[in-house]
Amino acid sequence: MPRKGAKKSFLLTPIGVLRTPFKGLKECPFQGPKEGTLGEIILKKRFLPGLKDLKGVSHLFLLTFFDQANRKRLQTVTPYGPELHGVFATRSPHRPNPIGLSVVQLVKIEGQRIFVRGVDALDGTPVIDMKPYNPEIDAYPQAVAGWYEKSKKRSKPLSKTRGPKGGILPAGANIPCEKPKK
């Protein structure tokens, strides 16, 4: 139950924009950190004082807003198989509040330009926040990932959440999946 006076919606102000080589959904990598793609955060000038003491940090949590996501989808298939999962049990960008959370490597800072490696978002994606990743606080080696534990035994993901012609599949669709190559 919401506390008395709790807001029903919130206004977030982007702190900057993410520049990446990915112009369309088909180009975006699956799980960016493994891909190592270089990106650039262009921070709004008024947020420059917030960069104090960021030098020396190796990795950041990058929070973005997937402004092109389908916000009505509550179930989706993943690259790990044809089963339908609730969006809250997946890392799909298509969700009611399409907030992206990525861990990226901080490469360098040049004024309002922050260079990062491991981006997995479209060029022009709004950045809503960034925070330092701390392996002593943020890593949980004992954590388990539910349904994903069974599917990770596959050598690689089957496909993205896309149909044979590249279109994003709606929840509940008859989903044709690629079979893993042997």
160, pLDDT greater than 50: no
* Residues 113-126 as b or e (16 or more Cβ within 10 Å = b): ebbbbbbbbbbebb
- By C-alpha distance, which of 146, 173, 145, 147 is closest to 161? 173
2 lies in some domain: no
Q: Is residue 6 included in any domain, yes or no? A: no
Domain ranges, residue 32: 16-135+142-151
| Over residues 1-7, mean pLDDT | 67
Q: What is the pLDDT of residues 109-154, one digit of tens each?
A: 999 999 999 998 899 999 999 999 999 999 888 888 888 777 766 5
pLDDT at 29: 75
Rounded (10°) CA dihedral 150, 94, 118, 176: 50
129 vs 171, higher pLDDT: 129
In a domain, 163, yes or no: no
Please state the domain count of the chain. Answer: 1
Query: Is 82 within 8 Å of 163 (Cβ atoms)?
Result: no
Q: Report if residue 10 sits inside a domain.
A: no
Q: Please give the model's pTM, rounded to 2 decimal places.
A: 0.75
> What span, in angstroms and rounded, lies between the C-alpha atoms of 45 and 41?
12
CA distance 134 to 55: 14
- 94 falls within a domain: yes
Radius of gyration of the chain (CA): 18
pLDDT, tens digit, 9 for 90 and up, residues 18-65: 999 999 877 877 665 556 889 999 999 999 999 999 999 999 999 999
Q: Residue 76 is part of a domain; what is its CATH number?
A: 2.40.30.70
User: Per the domain annotation, does 91 fall within a domain?
Assistant: yes
Q: Is the pLDDT of residue 168 over 50?
A: no
Considering only residues 85 and 6, tell me which one the structure prediction assigns the higher pLDDT: 85
Task: Say if residues 168 and 162 touch (Cβ distance below 8 Å).
Answer: yes
